[in-house]
Amino acid sequence: MTPKQLGYRFPAEWEKHEATWLTYPYQEASFPGMMDRIYDSYLKFVKEISLSEIVRINVPDEAYKQQLLNLMSSYSIDVNKVEIFLHRSDDVWCRDHGACFVINPSASATKAIVNWGFNAWGGKYPFENDNAIPLKVASHYGLPIFSPGIIMEGGSIDVNGAGTLLTTEACLLNKNRNPHLSKKQIENILMEYYSVEQIIWLGDGIAGDDTDGHVDDITRFISADTIVTAVESDKLDENYQPLQDNLKELKKLRLLNGKQPALVELPMPKAVYYDGNRLPASYANFYLTNNTVVVPTFRCENDDKSLQLLQQCFPNRKIIGIDSRDIVWGFGSFHCLSQQEPFI
């Protein structure tokens, strides 16, 4: 029996959270040459989440647990709002390796975990520790487990909580994920395990994204019938045409109710490079806490414009910009770092 058949569903990110899960950064390979510079933004993110919900953080051992506690003290983070789990990891991106929670208020077990497989974005990096984390979380809480038996990453999809899921062909149809499955087979699995009725396929992701095109860098639902999507104004930039192609597809979109969603165009930051590498800098990689929207900023002229635009999109939430220019060297930002656990 699948989650959908049993009445479970995967809530939209703006629905109330019980907690947010993070994984502690400790591997130099995640941020080569930048490790000592990313903790300021990381701890500011932890603090912001902790103001409205529990933060649950995976750390590899007791020594790093103590390091984290010391850092939290220096940032005046309330330790009563943070729970630390000794779960060894390979990388920091909890959106992709963290537990995927589904809920069903009428079930005897109201919360369960979908245990998607994780292979580090097509076998690019080590992943055995990351891949084990969802099962450890399920064991700790005694939660039921659904195992679809395919590779899936949280950053590759976005849902509106009303039956529609967004993803990209560049990622989910990449042969380094599930080469044995057809597009239709992947759609069927998404529908059964995320409990949706409609799959929207976009094309390519942005330059520098070594996830092969995660949708959380380009296009996000901000309500059941509103989508924010990144656009590049510079026609000479390599992101211009792929983002225009995605915008064109979105303009054709009709939701399950037959209506066209409202579209909000979000500018891209000026291209960010480090050590000659184009990085996947995008304001679309924001994260919704219970009370705020945490938005990555990149020390460029479009920061303020994007923060103001997102404030209009979320009039009942405070918009918090946190510098992500160093964190993005690890090829992700705040949404990639986090995975919500819904409240029930």
Instruction: Provide the annotated active-site residues.
Output: 336
Copy the structure tokens of residue 304.
């303020």
> Three-state SS string across the chain, please?
CCHHHHCCECCCCCCCEEEEEEECCCCHHHCCCCHHHHHHHHHHHHHHHHCCCEEEEEECCHHHHHHHHHHHHHCCCCHHHEEEEECCCCCCCHHHHCCEEEECCCCCCCEEEECCECCHHHHCCCCHHHHHHHHHHHHHHCCCEECCCCECCHHHCEECCCCEEEEEHHHHCCCCCCCCCCHHHHHHHHHHHHCCCEEEEECCCCCCCCCCCCHHHCEEEEECCEEEEEECCCCCCCCHHHHHHHHHHHHHCCCCCCCCCEEEEEECCCCCEECCEECCCCCCCCEECCCEEEEEECCCCHHHHHHHHHHHHCCCCEEEEEECCCHHHHCCCHHHHCEEEECC
Give CA separation, 127 vs 50, 101, 119, 131, 213, in Å.
28, 20, 6, 6, 19
Copy the structure tokens of residue 81.
């709002």
CA atoms of 323 and 317, how far apart (whole Å): 19
CA atoms of 54 and 70, how far apart (whole Å): 18
Copy the structure tokens of residue 257.
């109710």
CA atoms of 246 and 157, how far apart (whole Å): 15
